[in-house]
Amino acid sequence: MKIAVAGTGYVGLVTAVCLAHKGHTVTCVDLNETKIKMLQSGKSPIYEKDLEDLMQQHAERLTYTTDYQNAYKDAEVIFIGVGTPEKKDGSANLTYVYESAKQIAQSAEKNCIVVVKSTVPIGTNDKVEAILQKEKVHDVTLEVASNPEFLAQGTAVSDTLYASRIVLGVESEHAEAVLKEVYAGFESPILVTNRRSAEMIKYASNDFLALKISYVNEIANLCELVGADIQDVTAGMGLDPRIGNQFLNAGIGYGGSCFPKDTKALHWLANFHDYEIKTVKAAIEVNELQKIKLLKKARKYYESFDGLTVAVLGLTFKPDTDDLREAPSLVNVPILLDEGATIHAWDAVGVENFQKVMEKADCNTNNIVYYATPEEALNDADLCFIFTEWADVKALDLQVFQTMKKAIILDGRNCFETEKMKELGVIYESIGR
């Protein structure tokens, strides 16, 4: 089929490339000329496993353009995969979704299905439909469907190609038939529902996982106080099929582009309807406090960070991505700098993005030194924070911690066995152990 995709971020680009992989002809639309030129050269603007390889493999079926009029003119299906960033009040910013809808309405010259893939509050698809009807220029039928994504950064391509489920929120048999044709090459189970239920499935799923993480982190914090081991506890929990073993890793909180904004958006939406989802509100509060847990641990060893050299291993919110959104490093590093510390930072792929963020922040970036390896970052440090469980960190020869000036390791991702660190004779604190 001839498909257009609005947006070339995580959702839009991954969707487009995976649809091309399944045989569709796809045009990717973005108003950012720099991104489009990069894509046209065969390079991906985001770090995501297998994405660039698939882009190059299916280059003949992929087009990248800023010319939305031409892209939308005769497309059979148009996906909206633009960002829905968080506003200051916690609600979702739908500016890009509505602008895309307006552009589609003014450009479409044949009947098509407009599919909202961006994560949007319940009822947004109805508003998109209203915009399409109001703004359309040609005498065409523009139907709206909801098709939420369930990809995770770092595994976005496999999550799309081998999805646990494909949710189709439709209001007509025609829209259902067209979208089933789009996904005919996929082997994932398909759930067909109405648009509002599809919108809610996305929020309910993401917020449930955020709740699960926050609950485990609360239990981990209590484990430290009562002498239990969170890894033994979660191993026992995970054997119960009603609970499962996923999202039971204790740490210093969730980050990224989904869980933080989606919990806040659902909380805001409930408040808008004069209702409060107390569990989601609690998850938001727990996560914010969890991000600074290592700083609190560090206060036991140093009253002030002034003059200290602090090794920071991991800057991204999770491994296998260069995404820094809501990463614990963005909360902790400015505090360390503000108190006079020098930061020795390492990350596998996130340094460039971290530098950009720090340049915009009001902190002393002159006191950040970036290293090519975690071993170099650790050398002669007074303190070490582990924020991201990169494979390079987990594979470290533990003897490297002896190169620190004072071997105090605060591990926010439980990368090492406590007994081995004890045998090494270093000060090692992790989460819930």
* Residue 279 CA: distances (Å) to CA of 209, 257, 297, 350: 12, 20, 27, 32
Q: Are 80 and 109 in contact (CB under 8 A)?
A: no
* Residue 76 CA: distances (Å) to CA of 15, 96, 125: 16, 21, 18
Q: Are 378 and 403 in contact (CB under 8 A)?
A: yes
Q: Are 324 and 330 in contact (CB under 8 A)?
A: yes
d(CA 167, CA 172): 15
Which is catalytic among the residues 28, 112, 223, 258? 258
Stretch (H or E) spanning 410 = strand 408-411
Place of tokens 């003059």: 307
- Clarify whether 18 is annotated catalytic: no
* Interhelix angle 195-226/230-238, nearest 10 degrees: 140
d(CA 323, CA 315): 9
Burial 154-183 (b: 16+ CB within 10 A, else e): bebbebbbebeebbbbbbeeebbebbeebb
Give all strands (DSSP E) within 214-272, no chain letters: none
d(CA 341, CA 305): 5
Please name which of 288, 220, 205, 209 lies closest in space to residue 247, comparing C-alpha atoms: 209
Q: How far is CA 299 from the centre of its chain?
A: 30
Phi-psi region of 256 (alpha: psi -120 to 50; beta: other; left: phi over 0): left
Q: Return the structure tokens found at 69.
A: 């009029």
Q: Return the structure tokens found at 322.
A: 């260069």
Please identify every residue annotated as catalytic.
258
